[in-house]
Amino acid sequence: MEILAGGLRIKNPEMVDVMLARFGLDRPVHERYAIYLYNMVTGQFGISFFSGDYVINEVGERLVNTLILMGAAEILSIAIGVTLGVLAAYKRGGIFDSGSVLASLTTYSLPSFWMGMILLLVFFYQLGWFPGAGIYPRDWASIYESTGGLPPRLIIGNLFGTTLALPSLTEISGRLWHLFLPTLTLVLFSYGGYLLLTRASMLETLTEDYIVTVRAKGVKERAVLYKHALKNASLPLVTNIALTFGFILSGAIITEQVFTYPGLGQWIWQSISLRDYPALQAIFYLIALCVIIANFIADLLYGMIDPRIKYG
C-alpha cells in the first residue's frame, strides 16, 4: 500500500491512510471479510490498483475478446481432433494413423509461443498476409473517431459496463483477419490432445462385442463409428472438454502476449506483473465459477450419454 501511495510512510503518511481507507483496509478483519463475501456475490470486485477503474469494467472490456478467441479455437480443436481421432482408430496401424499421431504429438509438444512467433515471421513479417497484433485494423481509430475506432453499430444493450452492439460486416471481416493467426496457434497446440484421447477411447470401444454385432447387422461403417462407438467412448472426452471450457476465462496467456491480443489472458499477465490484486482476485473468482458450472454440465451430460449412470 505504501508503494501505491508513491513512497514510504515516513515521506507520505497522509496518502497511505487515504489509500487504506479507499480500499477498506482500515476496518476490522471480520468486517472486511463480510464485505468481501457480499461483493463477490454481487459482482463488486473493487478498484484496480493501477488503472483506478472499477475491475468489473476492465473485465467487460476483455471478456468478449477472450470468449471469441478461445471459443473459436476450442471448437475448431475439438472438431478436428475428434474427427481425426475417430479416423485414426478406424485405420489403426495404417499410414493415416501413424501420420496423424506423429503430427499431433509434434504440435502438442511444441511451445505455443514458438509456433506463434513462427506464424508471425512467415505470415506477418515475410508475406504480409495477416496482421501481427490487435483485434481491429489500426487505421480504424482515425477513420471512425466518433465511434471509438469502430464502424457504426446498432446498440442493443449494456453488460458489465460494456456496450453491446451488433457488429457490421466491415467489423466482422476485420476481426476475423486479426483472429486468424492466434486462433491457428491455439488450434495447432490443442487439437492433438483431443485426437490422442479420442483415438485411445475408440480403440478400446471398437473391440467390444456389441460393435461386432452392429456390423453383423449390416449397419453402415459411418454409423458404427459415430453413432455407436463414439457415443460410448465419449465420456473421457466430455470430461476433458468440460474442464477446457471451465478454464476458458483464463484466456491464452502466452498466445495473447505473443500477438498482443487484449483479452483476459494478457490482463492476467499484466496484473501479475503489476501486482494488481483486486484484478487477480476477480478473474480467479470468475474462473472458479466457470469450472464449477462446467463440471455440473458435464455430470448432466454423463447421464444423457450413458443410461447406466443414474442420479438418485
DSSP notation for 214-265? HHHTT--HHHIIIIIIHHHH-HHHHHHHHHHHHTGGG--HHHHHHTT--SHH
Let me know whether 234 and 161 are in one domain.
yes
Q: Are residues 275 and 156 in the same domain?
A: yes
**Whether the Cβ atoms of residue 171 and residue 151 lie closer than 8 Å to each other:** yes
Instruction: Give the DSSP H/E element, type plus range, for residue 157.
Output: strand 154-159
What global pTM score does this model have?
0.73
49 domain residue, yes or no: no
Residue 285, C-beta contacts closer than 8 angstroms, at least 6 positions apart: 40, 45
Query: Residue 299: inside a domain, yes or no?
Result: yes
* pLDDT single digits (tens) 189-247: 888 888 888 888 888 887 777 777 877 877 787 777 777 777 777 778 888 788 777 77
Q: Per the domain annotation, does 130 fall within a domain?
A: yes
Distance, CA of 271 to CA of 49 (rounded, Å):
9
The total number of structural domains that make up the chain: 2
Distances (CA, A) of 3 to 15, 23, 193: 11, 14, 44
Q: Are residues 16 and 150 in the same domain?
A: no
pLDDT of residue 88: 86
Per-residue pLDDT, 129: 82
| Length, in residues, of the chain | 312
Residue 51 lies in a domain: no
Domain with 13 in it: 1-42
The Cα 62–Cα 190 span in angstroms is 22
Same-domain status, 34 and 150: no
Question: Which CATH number covers residue 113?
Answer: 1.10.3720.10
Pair (200, 112) in one structural domain: yes
Q: What is the pLDDT of residue 251?
A: 59
Residues 99, 11 share a domain? no
Q: pLDDT under 50 in the chain at which residues?
A: 1-2, 5-10, 141, 143-149, 154
User: Are residues 297 and 245 both part of a single domain?
Assistant: yes
Give the pLDDT of residue 10.
45
